[in-house]
Structure 1
């Protein structure tokens, strides 16, 4: 039996809760070739260099045919290169923030606070809660639906589709197991249902304008012209999917980290202003997007003593880079006021997540109010059960015992 590489071991579901020992081994070879001809990059300096390198493409059409694969975000801005990417991103961000709507995120703060308070109020009288189901999921999914104009009553439907899509994606040695192949097939079907649901919603807004970003996008005929229908649908999938999934993981991991490290929890109790840098540290420690797998080399790239040949796929291990001891001192320890915390939790360069300010605000409010109002929280199971997905890595459930909810 061939011994598995650290990369393969890090991708096994049994190691989802703690891939970090395997990343430590992986970083000894910063740029590692896989048997299929792709390259894994695991160190901070090399990942940042590639994120800013215009010889690296995000466009699957520029990859060799043997490296094509199903991608739920195909046709969206994260699978485009400049100048096409810049045009479509500009069409989207004009409805989401600066320069056209500079106060949009700040104006959402009262609604985020109201919903956070409501969710915590609903926990009154309980002594055990599932932080994911009762808090980390409903907060960001409700907010993004209101921003986009997605009916709140549709949340249970598309939540199941997205969960199936996540469970169906596997980059590791278990990808060809019969059960995982079944999940993958179902995941492709569910992505199709999500696309059709959003295409129908966009059609409704074309016929009858309504509230939210989707309606604004279909009626936008500004200087750049209207976005093509297929691109609109693809970007709608991205906005709904990424608009809450990463925040769910970030909120859950923030609470998990606090409860694993009582001194961090106590710091936030006594110095609530530390929640702003603290959320950056939680994101560094437990990256919501752990791996990104869609890049490829447009020409030969020399990096860290290795040549990535033209056409080769490149996998960026953000979760490893964010714990690289060459960049972060004591990287496995949470330091709420860590100086110069330039993590890659939201990527960098042209594909930097434009929803990052919203995710930050949601998590800052959620964490601060959890610390202020939840009495004596204790982890019931550590590690908690994790989702199967290696890319959007996060707890499926996070069960916490509490003594009550303060007013």
Structure 2
């Protein structure tokens, strides 16, 4: 389904039934209304109450151990919709276009949405859900092939995130040899001092400032510097490759509006140009290998053989982009959340080790990747009594799964002390985030250092301006006022 078709689908009159009256269902209904749908809207759920959208009062607040800052009482969400609550949907009749209910009743629909976050993890692990762009194209959908995964229109083969096993597994194992266990088990942990030095240097440059843009001056240059060093890409070439990365990332958004064909063409051209740039670096490494991942991708081999030159280029494009884009958002979302929860920021300042649990809760509460839009059913799949036909395009809303009240207690509360933290912030299954250990460590070091060195940080605007991208969520700028940026310990 193209973006134009999707918007036309939203705005058509008729009857839309949403199966799943949790927060995921409520937000789907809100989106439909916001996008202009004016027809009949019905939400069906087995819970007897409407969902609330608020951070509830916690025990810590009630006992006076935590600040009630930005805490709201429960409130009913007003939306023009019919609620069928306290009765489960047991299936549907595609011929009659009816949802069957447990009480024997039926609700007619013209279009049907299944909004259930609790099933997202199961679908991420389900081998009947394909990530292969060829299956998406065969199903008659726009494969979005110009995104990070790539496509044949660019002259590069798809990277492993757009492939299914066993080919996915072969390429991922080869890419992982210089990056993590079992062949390089200490690669990420050994970077702690280097990462801390990069963070310290960026903040040294801000000493004397009373207002900073966290994105432009910290959250972006930090992971870019890291991935450039890992891959062996010259850091001074950042302005050059950023001009290609931006349209590639924009091409990931399935709902960006505008001229879809032109946006797709720009993304394909940018991926080709980035591939050609990296090809020059790969040729250098063939002649003169160095201690970097590009050299190891070119020269490495094992039980899976070795990558072809085109596979190296496709993998390098993926790692360069994914190696910094998601981390920029994670760091920025993290600082924004901490500034909205100053009691947690104070705790982190006094106990840097708290950064580990803070980052895990951030990955649940405000994940950098909101949804995975490029999946296809390769056979009929039943989800809660509803059959999704073979060839259907599926969007997996990771953010909704992270806030599903059937899975998490008080899902809209930011709680670093949460014990049950099996989130989807870095995906799950065979396509879980390749760089997850690095992203976690970068964000832990970044947030704990910011907490120590920024005196009285405060938001200059709330909410900040956000990037226009449905897949990658994060502020475009995050302007913070400070009394001062502390000098590095031992320096004055």
The normalised TM-score by structure 1 is 0.89
Task: Show the 5 A alignment for 1:1-400.
Answer: 2=12, 7=28, 10=31, 42-63=115-136, 64-71=138-145, 72=147, 73-74=149-150, 75-172=158-255, 175=257, 177-178=258-259, 182-400=262-480
Residues 42 and 318 of structure 1 are in contact (CA less than 8 Å); yes or no, is this contact kept in structure 2? no
Q: Which moves more between the two structures, 89-98 or 181-190? A: 181-190
Local SS of the residue matching 1:310: coil
Cα deviation for residue 300 of structure 1 reads 0.4
**What's the CA shift for 1:255?**
0.2
Deviation at 1:190?
1.9
Instruction: Indicate if the aligned counterparts of 1:11 and 1:171 stay in contact, CA closer than 8 A.
Output: no
**Rounded Cα–Cα distance in structure 1 between residues aligned with 2:171 and 2:434:** 13
In the aligned structure 1, how far is the partner of 2:330 from the partner of 2:34?
20
Aligned-pair distance for 1:10? 4.3
Once the two structures are overlaid, the 10-residue window that deviates more, 356-365 or 65-74, is 65-74
1:132–1:398 CA contact under 8 A, matched in 2 = yes
Q: Can you list the C-alpha shifts for 1:302-353, whole angstroms capped at 9, x where unaligned?
A: 0122111111111100111111111111111110121120000011111111
Q: Where do 5+ consecutive residues of structure 1 fail to align?
A: 15-19
Structure 2 match to 1:17: none
1:338-384 CA-to-partner distances (Å, cap 9, x unmatched) read: 11200000111111112111000000000000001101111011111
Provide the C-alpha distance between the structure 2 equivalents of 1:210 and 1:39, rounded to a whole number of angstroms.
Answer: 55
- Is contact 1:269–1:372 with CA below 8 Å preserved after alignment? yes
8 A contact 1:41–1:315 mirrored in 2: no
**SS at 1:66 equivalent:** coil
Structure of greater Rg: 2
Q: How many positions carry a matched residue from both structures?
A: 393
Query: Relative to 1, partners in 2 of residues 1:39 and 1:321: Cα closer, same or farther, differing over 3 Å?
Result: farther
Other structure's SS at 1:139 match: helix
* 1:259–1:265 Cα contact (<8 Å) kept: yes
Contact kept in structure 2, 1:52 and 1:349, CA below 8 Å? yes
Tell me how far 1:188 sits from its aligned partner.
Answer: 3.0
Residues 312 and 39 of structure 1, relative CA distance in 2, 3 Å threshold: farther
Asked if the contact 1:39/1:315 (under 8 Å) is kept, the reply is no
Residues 204-225 of structure 1: CA deviation (Å, up to 9, x unaligned) = 2223222310111111232321
> What SS does the corresponding residue of 2:188 show, helix, strand or coil?
helix
State how far apart, in whole Å, the 1-side matches of 2:422 and 2:160 are. 24
User: Residue 40 of structure 1 contacts residue 315 of structure 1 at CA under 8 Å; is this kept in 2?
Assistant: no
Query: C-alpha separation between the residues in 2 aligned to 1:3 and 1:281?
Result: 40
Whole-angstrom distance in 2 between the partners of 1:255 and 1:136: 10
**How far did residue 168 of structure 1 move?**
4.2
Shift of 1:170: 3.3
Report if aligned partners of 2:124, 2:428 keep a CA contact under 8 Å in 1: yes
Contact preservation (8 Å) 1:297, 1:310? yes
- How big is the shift at 1:155? 1.1
Distance in 1 (CA, whole Å) between partners of 2:289 and 2:437 is 27
CA distance in 2, matches of 1:12, 1:161: 35
* Larger RCO (CA under 8 A, 6+ residues apart): 1
- Structure with greater proportional helix content: 1
What whole-Å deviation, never above 9, does each CA across 1:173-218 have from its counterpart, x for those lacking one? x52x34x665444333222221221222222222322231011111
Alignment CA distance shift 1:2-1:44 (3 Å)? closer
RMSD value, Cα: 2.9
Q: Is the 8 A contact 1:42 1:321 kept in 2?
A: no
Q: State TM-score, norm by structure 2.
A: 0.74
Query: Hey, what does 2:47 align to over in structure 1?
Result: none
Contact 1:42 1:316 in 2 (8 A): no
SS, match of residue 374 in structure 2: strand
Alpha-carbon shift at residue 3 of structure 1 (Å): 6.8
